[in-house]
Amino acid sequence: MISELCNKVFIKAIYDYHLYNEIDAKYENPYETGSFEYLLYDKCWIDTAQWHMEDEIRNPSINPELALKWKRKIDKSNQERTDLVEDIDSFFLHKYNSITPLPAARINTESPAWAIDRLSILALKIYHMHEETIRKDISEADREQRKNKLSILLQQQTDLSLAIDELIDDIEHGRKYMKVYRQMKMYNDPTLNPVLYNNKK
């Protein structure tokens, strides 16, 4: 099942990141360059680093200049994340390009890669919520509350994994088809963001 592979790679990326626990840490992707697993690992590493960037920028006493620095880094990370999601969708598009959709085939509300993107974020939520359940400085009531949230996240992971596997099965058998819409983000594009292109004048 594709979701099982995704979850396995995501867990490895998250745990590998936390061996360093540094946003700008240099890392070596352990998978073959260009492979599906390679794309998944890079994707989840970016997600994990960005998770910690988002923590930093929410510091209520952060210096405004530092906050702007983090905002710029988050924008760059978002673009890299989007690029990788589109690369993962391209992988699926190439893999299934010989499949002829059935006459009644339907398109899904999101592509396989954007569903996998949500699975990566869920893996991060599960990791960090588990960390919250083993803190020494919280009450038992707080611990139980966190455990309940963790249980819900794990159920979401199970449900989303199933939905992804069903979507891939539908595409493989022509019951659904997919498209890739590339580079539709506007805020980083100097030709589409009016603040950027007006600033050149």
Q: What angle do CA 94, 82, 78 make, to 5 degrees?
A: 165
Residue 189: pLDDT band by 50, 70, 90 thresholds? low
Asked if residue 201 has pLDDT above 60, the reply is no
| pLDDT, position 184 | 63
Residue 40: strand, helix, or coil? helix
Is the pLDDT at 199 greater than 80? The verdict is no
CB-based burial label for 89 (10 Å; 0-12, 13-18, 19+): buried
CA atoms within 13 A on the CB side of 193: 11
Q: pLDDT digit string (tens) for 88-141?
A: 999 999 999 999 999 999 999 999 999 999 999 999 999 999 999 999 999 999
Question: CB-based contacts of 11: which residues, under 8 Å, 6+ apart?
Answer: 123, 127
Two tokens at 64? 């405004």
The per-residue pLDDT for 179 is: 85
pLDDT band for position 180 (cuts 50, 70, 90): confident
Q: How far apart are CA 13 and CA 51, in angstroms?
A: 13
Mean pLDDT of 137-154: 96
The per-residue pLDDT of the chain, averaged, comes to 92
Across residues 165-189, what is the average pLDDT?
A: 84
Per-position DSSP letters for 63-85, written without gaps between them: -HHHHHHHHHHHHHHHHHHHHHH
pLDDT of residue 181: 78
Tell me how crowded residue 4 is: count the other CB atoms within 10 A of its CB. Answer: 10
